Structure 1
């Protein structure tokens, strides 16, 4: 994986010895258990006969998120599939799901049923909406849209809610294990993706990233500028970074305006500006063209 997942090869992670079973498909669940695996947990991912949609649309990403895991295909609607899953749950510490409550009830995987059979098993249920609204359909795009994170009619550049939800689910799994140590019984933790979207939207609600806000274009030293080739992202918010920038450009701090910076950055390619900035301790990066 390109991102750090925690432990380095050969090192025992903090979740070494923890056994995780996941029946969660799509993105939040796999990303969550990949984080747990990166912290040392052993993971068995159970897929339905149809597979994981993520594996069909982005097979390389699917493989990345399931590296080091055991992946089994089970038909949980069949007695044999259910029996094999029960064997896995009997030895597991954490169960991760991402289905609606009604689907879990039909499979006998709702926490009320599971906890009766496996009293020490912790359960993390990733749902779209909290509580009684958990049956409402949704995806990353709709959660972002409701919270004002979809702008100008454009699709988001990444599935921010799914991935932030995965991080929250991994944290809730760790919290559930701590709670179990105190009580001796497994607990259920719910992660509602709509709540995650609301959390991500707080900088918007408070005006920080709205158009014209301090992180939305109002501050010249926190902006994106066109270079002679490509663009640069400048984030010299702290006064000492702004002083470094002004000094490096040979201008006074009062001259750090949008127009003056736009004219300066237009003189070189973005990649050259990035190297220039690193040598002078200025937070600036070339904008990657994907």
Structure 2
């Protein structure tokens, strides 16, 4: 079966998480992703030692479905290898400060004239220009500056970082969409272009549902913990043995909730007649609901509320997520076979196509594991490859 991106070659110079995860997901759909690393490897390989020194679980999580080549781009011979790769490439992905890319000669301006059909994807911390453009970008900083951290946590407490690397991984999905849009235009018009995404813009984009109200009313948003400022009940509740969320987004669900918990008196109470009333009187309603939900275990409440068409869910810990029946049904647990470490369990591709589905393949490769294979495809013979390796241009 052909895949959506069969025939598309991506030369991937990105490091750490955002770029590698984007190209990995594109590789699942058939793109030939060639991960180009310096001789010392992507720094993400050394974040932890889960699989041994230089073999971090973090790096393994974002580098499947690609081949790895080690090239020292600071050498003229190594840069020449990259240029030969770009002759057959459709996409080049880069994640570094704009000045660093320009210094290496891998910025868009340096490459566009020679490779006019190339889609050039730049992933940065803050953008291509501006006061912070040359500052290092990373997930924690993006969450803080972009407002996500400032909207998270309990009222009056320390701001809370979102556990998953939401700054990095949201940027991964933005990069995927940007690349596919540019490929569509190139296939139509014959010319590539630069596409740019950055961690900061991604985090700011998540504030869409909060920013309109703020700019209209001037009322600042403050963290609400597991609650919502403008909907009640729409929050986390403690149960007899854990936690769950209940989300009465529309009036129908509030009516269903009152019936499920056998509290029609709440439904008849004028203080809670509409969502606006419930928001205004949350200090009376929420403690009453907290008392009720604390009486039974989570599983019992979820069963009862789902039976009565009340939106709810247990608050799953990481170890519970992959046992969730719906997560299992969706096939989101992916097992990769590594020749040394055996099974590596990771997260499957979340994009579902009915006719040409994703087909993740291969384990995350070692630095330069496919150098000989890729260089041979580029026209280098065994002698030339040995010469490049002896000169330190490739690994």
Q: What interval of TM-score do these two structures reach, taking the shorter chain for normalisation?
A: 0.7 to 0.9
| C-alpha separation in 1, matches of 2:250 and 2:43 | 44
| C-alpha separation in 1, matches of 2:178 and 2:120 | 9
2:155 is aligned with 1:158:
no
State the TM-score, normalized to the length of structure 1.
Answer: 0.86
Which residue in 1 is equivalent to 2:146?
A: 147
Q: Equivalences for 1:23-34 in 2 at 5 Å?
A: 23-34=13-24
- Compute the displacement of 1:269 (Å): 2.2
State the TM-score, normalized to the length of structure 2.
Answer: 0.65
2:301 is aligned with 1:273:
yes
Q: Equivalences for 1:18-167 in 2 at 5 Å?
A: 18-57=8-47, 59-133=56-130, 134-151=133-150, 152-167=158-173
Superposed CA RMSD in Å reads 2.5
| C-alpha separation in 2, matches of 1:233 and 1:215 | 9
- Compute the displacement of 1:214 (Å): 11
Does structure 1 retain, via aligned residues, the 8 Å contact 2:168–2:199? yes
Which residue in 2 is equivalent to 1:240?
A: 252
- Compute the displacement of 1:213 (Å): 11
CA separation of 1:55 and 1:244: change in aligned 2, threshold 3 A? farther
- Compute the displacement of 1:168 (Å): 0.7
| C-alpha separation in 1, matches of 2:120 and 2:92 | 5
CA separation of 1:85 and 1:223: change in aligned 2, threshold 3 A? same
| C-alpha separation in 2, matches of 1:250 and 1:97 | 58
Count of residue pairs the alignment pairs up: 280
CA separation of 1:170 and 1:73: change in aligned 2, threshold 3 A? same
Structure with greater contact order relative to length (CA < 8 Å, sep ≥ 6) = 2
CA separation of 1:239 and 1:169: change in aligned 2, threshold 3 A? same
1:189 match: secondary structure: strand
CA separation of 1:62 and 1:260: change in aligned 2, threshold 3 A? same
- Compute the displacement of 1:191 (Å): 0.9
CA separation of 1:272 and 1:75: change in aligned 2, threshold 3 A? farther
Say which one has the larger Rg.
Answer: 2
| C-alpha separation in 2, matches of 1:207 and 1:147 | 17
Does structure 2 retain, via aligned residues, the 8 Å contact 1:222–1:236? yes
Does structure 2 retain, via aligned residues, the 8 Å contact 1:226–1:266? yes
Unaligned runs of 5+ residues in structure 2 are 49-55, 151-157, 215-220, 273-284, 319-395
Of residues 193-202 and 49-58 in structure 1, the stretch that sits farther from structure 2 once superposed is 49-58
2:240 is aligned with 1:228:
yes
Unaligned runs of 5+ residues in structure 1 are 1-10
Which residue in 2 is equivalent to 1:250?
A: 262
CA separation of 1:279 and 1:54: change in aligned 2, threshold 3 A? farther
CA separation of 1:74 and 1:32: change in aligned 2, threshold 3 A? same
CA separation of 1:277 and 1:65: change in aligned 2, threshold 3 A? farther
Does structure 1 retain, via aligned residues, the 8 Å contact 2:137–2:199? no
Does structure 2 retain, via aligned residues, the 8 Å contact 1:270–1:287? no
Does structure 2 retain, via aligned residues, the 8 Å contact 1:212–1:218? no
Does structure 2 retain, via aligned residues, the 8 Å contact 1:207–1:213? no
| C-alpha separation in 2, matches of 1:185 and 1:197 | 30
CA separation of 1:217 and 1:273: change in aligned 2, threshold 3 A? farther
Does structure 2 retain, via aligned residues, the 8 Å contact 1:217–1:223? no
| C-alpha separation in 1, matches of 2:111 and 2:7 | 21
Does structure 2 retain, via aligned residues, the 8 Å contact 1:210–1:216? no
| C-alpha separation in 1, matches of 2:129 and 2:25 | 28
